[in-house]
């Protein structure tokens, strides 16, 4: 499922039957036909084309905001787990504070002050999501820190940074990857929500959330305007959730004994419900 | 007690974040709030009234001082105190969140338990398949579909607005008048179903996981070995222990509903704190944005604390020092 969306996003210019912003005021809100397979919107633009191009924005925001959140959260989580004491306390209190804000609310507030560009949406979502990674990485890192190979690495004189990146990080990468995969789906929904509210990607750039908002505005004239972008979001998010859950099962030794490293346990491997609930 | 004392730095942190929000605005915040047509005199006046021309530390101290007196500032577009706007909107959001929670728990609890009991059966696959789809479905699309289908197509429910206040509806009910209560429920039905169904998808998966774990425990086997009926084992032994997870989930869901309310309230024009926030953002009314974000985050932090504390009370194995 994810593969199809990625291919569509990469090859959108070649797969799209029309340019994404090509308007035709004589053919507004047209029903699906052989010329426009999913019909046209209120400006006469081809909906299929805009769904293809919208996938680019969704995936760009999804991957980039998860990268921002993952890098910040993993770095701080590792620092907290490795150094402990005051460093751990300070980082975890900041994490508690960020986790007190529902992500969509924090993203809304940040987008309101920074502005509704793709870059600022990525930053806002990244700043909203990093705390979950920090908490996850700290938990996993605390277990790894007392392992013999980390002690050995310290004994032979490796520096702090090298121990964290070379010896601790590779051993806690599994749960991070699972959370990142599931997080992409959440970030895609968050971006679409912001665009739905008019605070996300600005027109004329195609965005699935904004297309659904148009569907609600023009429901009486064209009943299925919001159906196809809605299905596109659901397909993509479902794909990432299934991929994340599959990855979680694969990495979980309680399900797949002996197939992979034995560091992850059920508490450390988040699933789709966990990520959505945070 | 230690857990409760941890709330203090979190609340202080929340107030720092909300205070800094206004200072993250690129350029002059007062000019950004007033828009491009503002005169220098108007900008200077707003700078003065918001205290933006004072040093940052002084602004923060006066912000905290005002907060401690329950003063959230003044709206620059609605000419009312932010506290009065929040005081009107917050009960509506809580009403919506509570009813959504009821919908979520009522649907998810039997679904999750049944899926765990009949694990790997066709029922389990179907229920968890629906839950997976529900989790992946954006709440604003579900809300849009509900408006289109139930309100605009079938005319079963109003597509927007709020019914009479709950106190008034209950008062009328006592006098034998069902009308106001009916109006209240018809208005809240679609937003609560929208939020509740998405929540039910998440909760049912968590309940299922918790039940499967509990059903595999030794004491369940012992209870069965004692000859207790399957129903008794399920309800008296298994579900009681799985309820620990449900309490946690309820807390998490409340926070989720506070976030989701921002979207759902906008779709259904529900006059809650979420819609107040979005409207304030669109109008660049930052004192209202600050106030709403502060209240929602504080509420979220307090609910999380209550969940932690109740978890410790319910589970004798966990005691916070």
What DSSP element (H or E) covers A34?
Answer: none
Whether A55 and A236 have beta carbons less than 8 Å apart is answered as: yes
Are residues B14 and A100, on separate chains, in Cβ contact within 8 Å? yes
What's the structural domain count of chain B? 2
User: Residue B289's CB: how many other CB atoms inside 10 A?
Assistant: 26
Predicted pLDDT at A257 = 42
Q: Is pLDDT larger for residue B10 or for residue B49? A: B10
Residues B153 and B242 in one domain: yes
Under the phi-then-psi rule, with left for phi > 0, alpha for psi from -120 to 50, and beta for the rest, what region is A39? left
Q: Is the pLDDT of residue A262 over 60?
A: no
Q: Token match 């305007």: residue?
A: A225
User: Residue B5's CB: how many other CB atoms inside 10 A?
Assistant: 8
Q: pLDDT tens digits for A98-125?
A: 888 888 888 888 888 887 888 989 999 9
Asked if the structure places residue B49 within a domain, the reply is: yes
Predicted pLDDT at B282 = 86
Give the residue on A whose Cα is nearest the Cα of B23: A113
Are residues B206 and A199, on separate chains, in Cβ contact within 8 Å? no
CB neighbour list of residue A98: distance below 8 Å, 6 or more residues apart: A106, A127, A128, A130, A131
Asked if the structure places residue B74 within a domain, the reply is: no
Give the residue from A134, A278, A96, A132 showing the smallest Cα distance to B10: A96
> Cα(B119)–Cα(B107) distance, rounded to whole angstroms?
18
| Inter-residue long-range contacts of A1-8, CB under 8 Å, 24+ positions, other chains counted | A1/A235, A1/A236, A1/A238, A1/A239, A1/A242, A1/A243, A2/A236, A2/A239, A2/A240, A2/A243, A4/A239, A5/A55, A5/A59, A5/A235, A5/A236, A5/A239, A6/A59, A8/A52, A8/A55
Highest-scoring range by mean pLDDT, A111-125, B34-48, B164-178: A111-125
Q: pLDDT tens digits for B52-88?
A: 888 888 889 988 999 999 899 889 888 899 999 999 9
- Smallest CA–CA distance, residue A71 to chain B, in Å, is 21
- Smallest CA–CA distance, residue A53 to chain B, in Å, is 19
Predicted pLDDT at B9 = 86
Q: pLDDT tens digits for B208-255?
A: 888 888 888 888 888 888 888 778 788 777 877 777 777 777 777 777
Residues of chain A positioned with their CB less than 8 A from the CB of B282: 198-199
Of A100, A192, A278, Cβ closest to residue B10: A100
Residues B23 and B146 in one domain: no
Of A108, A110, A192, Cβ closest to residue B277: A108
Residues of chain A positioned with their CB less than 8 A from the CB of B134: none
Are residues A277 and B282, on separate chains, in Cβ contact within 8 Å? no
Residues B52 and B99 in one domain: no
Residues B278 and B151 in one domain: yes
Please give the class, per CATH, of domain A2-277. mainly alpha
Are residues A101 and B26, on separate chains, in Cβ contact within 8 Å? no
Residue B91's domain spans which residues?
83-161+192-320
> Cα(A229)–Cα(A128) distance, rounded to whole angstroms?
25
Residues B146 and B26 in one domain: no
Are residues A105 and B249, on separate chains, in Cβ contact within 8 Å? no
Asked if the structure places residue B180 within a domain, the reply is: no
Burial classification of residue A216, based on how many CB atoms lie within 10 Å of its CB (0-12 exposed, 13-18 middle, 19 or more buried): buried
Give the residue from B251, B320, B255, B70 showing the smallest Cα distance to A100: B255
- Smallest CA–CA distance, residue A195 to chain B, in Å, is 11
CA distances B206 to A276, B22, B231, Å, are 12, 38, 21
- The predicted complex's ipTM stands at 0.83
Are residues A276 and B202, on separate chains, in Cβ contact within 8 Å? yes
Residues B306 and B225 in one domain: yes
Asked if the structure places residue B141 within a domain, the reply is: yes
Whether B107 and B197 have beta carbons less than 8 Å apart is answered as: yes
Residues of chain A positioned with their CB less than 8 A from the CB of B138: 189, 192-193, 196, 209, 212, 230, 233-234, 237
Predicted pLDDT at A268 = 47
Q: Taking residues A66-84, what's their average pLDDT?
A: 93
Q: Is pLDDT larger for residue A72 or for residue B305? A: A72
Residues of chain B positioned with their CB less than 8 A from the CB of A112: 281, 284, 286, 289
Asked if the structure places residue B170 within a domain, the reply is: no
Residues of chain B positioned with their CB less than 8 A from the CB of A228: none
Q: Is the pLDDT of residue A88 over 80?
A: yes
Are residues B256 and A102, on separate chains, in Cβ contact within 8 Å? yes
Give the residue from A260, A236, A238 showing the smallest Cα distance to A248: A260
Residues B62 and B87 in one domain: no
Q: Which string of b and e fits B84-113 if b means at least 16 CB within 10 Å? A: ebbeebbebbbbbbebbbebbbebbbebbb
Residues B87 and B148 in one domain: yes
Residue-level length of chain A: 278
Predicted pLDDT at B172 = 80
Are residues A114 and B139, on separate chains, in Cβ contact within 8 Å? no
Best of A58, A95, A109 to disrupt the B interface (most B CBs within 10 Å) is: A109
Asked if the structure places residue B207 within a domain, the reply is: yes
Of B133, B258, B289, Cβ closest to residue A238: B133
Are residues A102 and B255, on separate chains, in Cβ contact within 8 Å? yes
Residues of chain A positioned with their CB less than 8 A from the CB of B10: 93, 96-97, 100
Residues B90 and B147 in one domain: yes
Q: pLDDT tens digits for A130-176?
A: 999 999 999 888 888 888 888 888 888 888 889 888 888 888 888 89
A58 to chain B, any CB pair closer than 8 A? The answer is: no
Whether B320 and B250 have beta carbons less than 8 Å apart is answered as: no
Residue at a domain's end among B42, B68, B94: B68
- Smallest CA–CA distance, residue B148 to chain A, in Å, is 7
Provide the 3-class DSSP secondary structure of residue B81.
Answer: strand
Of B26, B148, B304, Cβ closest to residue A223: B148
Whether A277 and B256 have beta carbons less than 8 Å apart is answered as: yes
Q: For helices A47-83 and A85-99, give the axis angle rounded to 10 degrees.
A: 150
In sign, the C-alpha dihedral spanning B199, B204, B209, B215 is positive
Are residues A212 and B133, on separate chains, in Cβ contact within 8 Å? no
Range 125-184 of A in CB contact (< 8 A) with B: none
Residues B152 and B120 in one domain: yes
Domain coordinates in residue numbering, chain A: 2-277
Binned at pLDDT 50, 70 and 90, residue A78 comes out as very high
Residues B64 and B88 in one domain: no
User: Residue B27's CB: how many other CB atoms inside 10 A?
Assistant: 7
Residues B312 and B201 in one domain: yes
Are residues A109 and B258, on separate chains, in Cβ contact within 8 Å? no
Give the residue on A whose Cα is nearest the Cα of B200: A273
Residues of chain B positioned with their CB less than 8 A from the CB of A108: 262, 277-278, 281
This prediction has a pTM of 0.85
Are residues B262 and A108, on separate chains, in Cβ contact within 8 Å? yes
Best of B144, B282, B289 to disrupt the A interface (most A CBs within 10 Å) is: B144
Are residues B148 and A103, on separate chains, in Cβ contact within 8 Å? no
Asked if the structure places residue B137 within a domain, the reply is: yes
Highest-scoring range by mean pLDDT, A30-44, A86-100, B211-225, B298-312: A86-100
């Amino acid at each position: 499922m994810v593969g199809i969306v990625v291919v569509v996003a990469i090859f959108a210019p070649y797969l799209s039957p029309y340019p994404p912003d090509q308007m035709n005021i004589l053919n507004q809100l047209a029903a699906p036909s052989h010329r426009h397979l999913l019909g046209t919107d209120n400006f006469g633009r081809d909906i299929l084309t805009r769904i293809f191009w919208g996938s680019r924005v969704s995936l760009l925001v999804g991957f980039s905001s998860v990268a921002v959140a993952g890098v910040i959260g993993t770095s701080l989580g590792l620092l907290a787990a490795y150094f402990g004491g005051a460093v751990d306390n300070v980082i975890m209190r900041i994490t508690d504070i960020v986790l007190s804000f529902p992500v969509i609310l924090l993203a809304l507030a940040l987008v309101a002050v920074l502005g509704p560009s793709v870059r600022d949406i990525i930053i806002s979502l990244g700043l909203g999501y990093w705390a979950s990674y920090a908490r996850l990485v700290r938990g996993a890192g605390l277990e790894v820190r007392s392992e013999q190979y980390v002690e050995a690495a310290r004994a032979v004189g490796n520096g702090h940074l090298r121990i964290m990146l070379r010896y601790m990080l590779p051993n806690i990468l599994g749960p991070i990857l699972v959370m990142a995969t599931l997080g992409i789906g959440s970030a895609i929904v968050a971006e679409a929500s912001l665009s739905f509210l008019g605070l996300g990607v600005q027109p004329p750039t195609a965005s699935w959330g904004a297309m659904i908002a148009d569907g609600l505005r023009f429901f009486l004239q064209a009943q299925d305007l919001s159906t196809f972008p809605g299905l596109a979001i659901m397909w993509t998010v479902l794909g990432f959730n299934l991929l994340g859950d599959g990855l979680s099962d694969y990495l979980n030794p309680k399900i797949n004994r002996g197939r992979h490293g034995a560091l992850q346990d059920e508490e450390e491997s988040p699933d789709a419900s966990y990520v959505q609930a945070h | 007690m230690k857990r409760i004392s941890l709330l203090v730095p979190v609340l202080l942190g929340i107030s720092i974040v909300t205070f800094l929000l206004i200072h993250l605005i690129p350029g002059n915040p007062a000019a950004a709030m007033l828009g491009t047509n503002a005169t220098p005199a108007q900008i200077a006046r707003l700078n003065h009234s918001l205290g933006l021309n004072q040093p940052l530390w002084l602004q923060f101290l006066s912000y905290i001082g005002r907060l401690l007196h329950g003063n959230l500032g003044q709206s620059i577009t609605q000419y009312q105190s932010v506290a009065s706007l929040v005081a009107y909107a917050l009960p509506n959001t809580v009403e919506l969140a509570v009813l959504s929670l009821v919908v979520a728990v009522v649907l998810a609890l039997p679904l999750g338990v049944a899926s765990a009991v009949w694990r790997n059966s066709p029922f389990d696959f179907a229920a968890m398949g629906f839950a997976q789809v529900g989790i992946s479905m954006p709440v604003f699309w579900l809300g849009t579909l509900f408006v289109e289908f139930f309100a605009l197509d079938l005319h079963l429910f109003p597509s927007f607005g709020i019914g009479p206040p709950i106190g008034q509806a209950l008062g009328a009910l006592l006098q034998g008048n069902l009308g106001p209560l009916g109006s209240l429920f018809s208005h809240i039905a679609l937003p609560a179903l929208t939020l509740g169904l998405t929540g039910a998808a998440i909760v049912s998966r968590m309940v299922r996981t918790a039940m499967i774990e509990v059903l595999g425990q030794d004491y369940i086997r012992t209870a069965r070995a004692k000859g207790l009926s399957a129903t008794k084992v399920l309800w008296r032994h298994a579900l009681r222990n799985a309820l620990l997870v449900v309490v946690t989930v309820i807390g998490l869901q409340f926070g989720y509903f506070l976030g989701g309310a921002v979207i759902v309230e906008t779709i259904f024009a529900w006059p809650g704190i979420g819609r107040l926030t979005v409207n304030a953002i669109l109008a660049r009314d930052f004192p209202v944005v600050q106030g709403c974000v502060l209240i929602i985050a504080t509420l979220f932090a307090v609910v999380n604390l209550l969940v932690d504390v109740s978890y410790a009370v319910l589970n004798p194995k966990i005691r916070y020092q």
